[in-house]
Structure 1
Amino acid sequence: MRPFKAVISGGHLTPAIALIENLEKRGFSLFYFGRKFAMEGSQSASFERNYARKYRLQFIEIDSGKFPRYFTWYYFLSLFKIFSGFCRCFLYLLKIRPDIIVSFGGFLSFPLSLAGKILGIPVVIHEQTRVFGLSNRTIGKIADKICLSYNPTLKVPSHLKTTVTGIPLRRSILTPVKYFVPGNKEKPLIYITGGSQGSQSINLFLLKVIPLFLKKYRIIHAVGQSQSESVFQKIKSFKNTLPLNIKEDYTIEKSVEPDKVGSILRQADLVISRSGANTVAELCFFRKKTILIPLPWSAESEQRENGLFLVKTGLAKILDQNKLTLSLLKEAIEEMMILPYEPKKSDVKLIFDPRAENLVSEIETYLIR
């Protein structure tokens, strides 16, 4: 009997990796449909493309447009790119003939799921955020099953077929490799990250304040995969201007290897971060005190909603990026550093479940031959 074939796609790679790791153990033949570049107009390879190369995953490059939220000149170009992406997905699916499609949201998911539905391929979608996203609301009308991370998830139409499976976490998070952050171990460690893509706003703001914080803390700073080389070099040059006695306490990474993230989170005394769904899930898993700076223009205010979940557990404080100042950040760091954390009853067993097996079980119901 030939192995089952699964096509995986979506804007959130982290839970996709957890699923890929689990399906590989079960002998699946896997194909990842993803972007060539990290962002439109960028020449940096996308995170999913780099992952596929590293782990020898079969990668299919797909370009598509985003759903226009407003009528502008970009409207027709976007519709054309969606149609082009649909045609490309349709042809590849005809060639591959997968047994199932699993989508993790994002603009590429629509043309792929539509092509799959027309070809009679079961479509399972997974929503990572606390707010049901626009892409998934659209795809949800044709999907065979919708898997949710949170109970409740906001803005889910009642007629859709849903089940709560949680956010699957990567093996490297659950069982991380040993990695020790350099610097003076007597100083508390702050991990700063804007997520896998990074945040230019946070990065440039921090250049003004990091010398002050290095007097008391060690810092590891993940700049982000999609940040331009000029931004990364600017931060590296900035580090070279620091006095020798604090320079060793400032570690810069353009993109932290997935194998290292779990180890860094275990060591960190405090995390300063965006509040993407997968970041929040990992912070919850490690019970890390966190200062969250949600992306102000995230769709449906999903990052703020993700962050509010973490605040309710007693783990986090939210700062508004548009009102962020040195004094506010300094006050928040000092407050969180001395705050004793005692898990609330709601936090003993978190709302989400980190096991990929829950999602795999839903997938397997469509694979009975």
Structure 2
Amino acid sequence: MKKRTILLTGGGTAGHVSLNQALIPELLKMDFNVEYIGSKDGIESELIPDSFPEVPYHPISSGKLRRYFSVKNFTDPFRVGVGLLQAMQVIRKTKPAAIFSKGGFVSVPVAMAGKLLSIPVIIHESDVTPGLANRIAMPFANHIFTVFTETLKHVPKEKSTCTGSVIRSELMDGSAAKGREICHFENDLPVLMVMGGSQGSAMINDAIRTNLSELQKQYNVIHLCGKGNIDESLVDLPNYCQFEYVTHELSHLLHMTDFVVSRAGSNSIFEFLALKKPMLLIPLSRQKSRGDQLLNARLFLQQGFAHVVEEEELTPERFLAEMQKLHMDEDLLIENMTRAEPPKTAYEMAKLVAAHTKKN
């Protein structure tokens, strides 16, 4: 019998790719062919081919749907139109049993094309409220999976299911010893991991580097500072290891980590929760986003999983004070996280996706 194909899409940020990265190995084990539609120059165009060279990658044109005035707002609809035609061409060629969309602007023409060609479209929404791309794509979807139960108030209930979070299996298999080898830490100080997202955060980077001499006295610091943000003058400092971005090393680094400072993207914070890492969340403000990270962070604060400080309130002094509070509340935060609902595995999520595929 000929293998059935599942077509994955999603991109623009690591958060729109990481679940797909987790699903691909499980879908392959379930004897599906897996192919991927992404943008020509988004982060997915590097992550997917590098991690899964056996998965065909189809780049298409994609526009950006902006909430602010830009001349490109007049040209990007044409790029979306081109992307729609390209997506239809890929779908006709691959004849998928389903399309699984993780969101991001590249996913919009793919979902539209799937609907036009009568292919089941499955959407996954990680945040409390759906992003703009997913909101546009939802009318074309056959089913929508959400991470937060609160999200069900913002999506069509008759075709939506809350699955909870999904954690990559390899994330649970990291080695603290390998993490120490990667970072060359030579003492037993607690480890602080700082993550500003795949593109980095200038505000978080500045808060860390301004306080670095003080932080080095208390922690070994792992600093994921974003592409192009390595500070060469700090490369040889003790107790400080900086990376632009990590992929395969992340599980090892997280297993050696005691405390996390991070933005509040849904995928990341649920990974910290699964590994029971006390976290200080600094969500993107409404001035820089649609406010989804603020909602994610507030829910984690309410459940006692995290401390939160909004970036408008962050100063070097406030940052050190918040780290001291995090240290003091370490045991309480871990106790609260221990009572959280366990995440789904990638295999369990892959089974849910497979259940919505078109039968031969």
1:137–1:156: 8 Å Cα contact kept in structure 2?
no
2:9–2:102: 8 Å Cα contact kept in structure 1?
yes
Where does residue 232 of structure 2 map in the other structure? Answer: 236
Where does residue 266 of structure 2 map in the other structure? Answer: 277
AA partner of residue 309 (structure 1): L
1:315–1:341: 8 Å Cα contact kept in structure 2?
no
Query: Of residues 95, 107, 110 in structure 1, which corresponds to 2:108?
Result: 110
TM-score when scaled to structure 2? 0.89
Mark the runs of 5 or more structure 1 residues left unpaired by the alignment. 39-45, 241-246
Mark the runs of 5 or more structure 2 residues left unpaired by the alignment. none
Return the offset for 1:122. 0.7
Report the Cα distance in structure 2 between the residues aligned to 1:63 and 1:212, rounded to whole angstroms.
47
Instruction: Specify the SS of the correspondent of 1:60.
Output: strand
Task: Determine whether 1:22 maps to 2:26.
Answer: yes
Deviations 1:208-244 (A, max 9, x none): 22122112211011122xx23xx32xx122334xxxx
AA partner of residue 368 (structure 1): K
Return the offset for 1:346. 7.1
Instruction: Count residues with an aligned counterpart.
Output: 349
Deviations 1:255-299 (A, max 9, x none): 123x32222222212111111111111011011111111112454
CA change 1:239–1:364 in 2 (3 A) is closer
Where does residue 301 of structure 1 map in the other structure? Answer: 291
Where does residue 43 of structure 1 map in the other structure? Answer: none
Where does residue 52 of structure 2 map in the other structure? Answer: 55
Report the Cα distance in structure 2 between the residues aligned to 1:149 and 1:338, rounded to whole angstroms.
30
Moved more, 70-79 or 112-121: 70-79
1:19–1:168: 8 Å Cα contact kept in structure 2?
no
Equivalent positions of 1:76-95 (< 5 A) are 76-95=74-93
Where does residue 250 of structure 2 map in the other structure? Answer: 261
Task: Determine whether 1:96 maps to 2:87.
Answer: no
The percent of aligned pairs where both chains have the same amino acid is: 27
Report the Cα distance in structure 2 between the residues aligned to 1:70 and 1:212, rounded to whole angstroms.
40
Report the Cα distance in structure 2 between the residues aligned to 1:68 and 1:122, rounded to whole angstroms.
28
Deviations 1:173-228 (A, max 9, x none): 1222543242243211100111233223322342222122112211011122xx23
1:314–1:341: 8 Å Cα contact kept in structure 2?
no
Moved more, 105-114 or 159-168: 159-168
1:131–1:300: 8 Å Cα contact kept in structure 2?
no
Where does residue 347 of structure 2 map in the other structure? Answer: 357
Report the Cα distance in structure 1 between the residues aligned to 2:244 and 2:313, rounded to whole angstroms.
26
Report the Cα distance in structure 2 between the residues aligned to 1:77 and 1:351, rounded to whole angstroms.
45
Equivalent positions of 1:93-242 (< 5 A) are 93-153=91-151, 155-177=153-175, 178-180=178-180, 181-224=183-226, 227-228=227-228, 231-232=229-230, 235-240=231-236
Query: Of residues 331, 349, 368 in structure 1, which corresponds to 2:359?
Result: 368
Task: Determine whether 1:35 maps to 2:26.
Answer: no
Report the Cα distance in structure 2 between the residues aligned to 1:37 and 1:299, rounded to whole angstroms.
22
1:187–1:216: 8 Å Cα contact kept in structure 2?
yes
1:290–1:317: 8 Å Cα contact kept in structure 2?
yes
Q: CA RMSD in A?
A: 2.2
Moved more, 24-33 or 174-183: 174-183
1:3–1:29: 8 Å Cα contact kept in structure 2?
yes
Task: Determine whether 1:328 maps to 2:330.
Answer: no
Deviations 1:293-326 (A, max 9, x none): 1112454311111112221232311112122111
CA change 1:337–1:347 in 2 (3 A) is closer
Instruction: Specify the SS of the correspondent of 1:252.
Output: strand
AA partner of residue 50 (structure 1): L
Report the Cα distance in structure 2 between the residues aligned to 1:281 and 1:168, rounded to whole angstroms.
8
Instruction: Specify the SS of the correspondent of 1:6.
Output: strand
Report the Cα distance in structure 2 between the residues aligned to 1:34 and 1:211, rounded to whole angstroms.
42
Report the Cα distance in structure 2 between the residues aligned to 1:26 and 1:303, rounded to whole angstroms.
34
Deviations 1:54-103 (A, max 9, x none): 42121111221122434543321121111111111111111221111000
Report the Cα distance in structure 2 between the residues aligned to 1:16 and 1:148, rounded to whole angstroms.
15
Instruction: Specify the SS of the correspondent of 1:101.
Output: strand
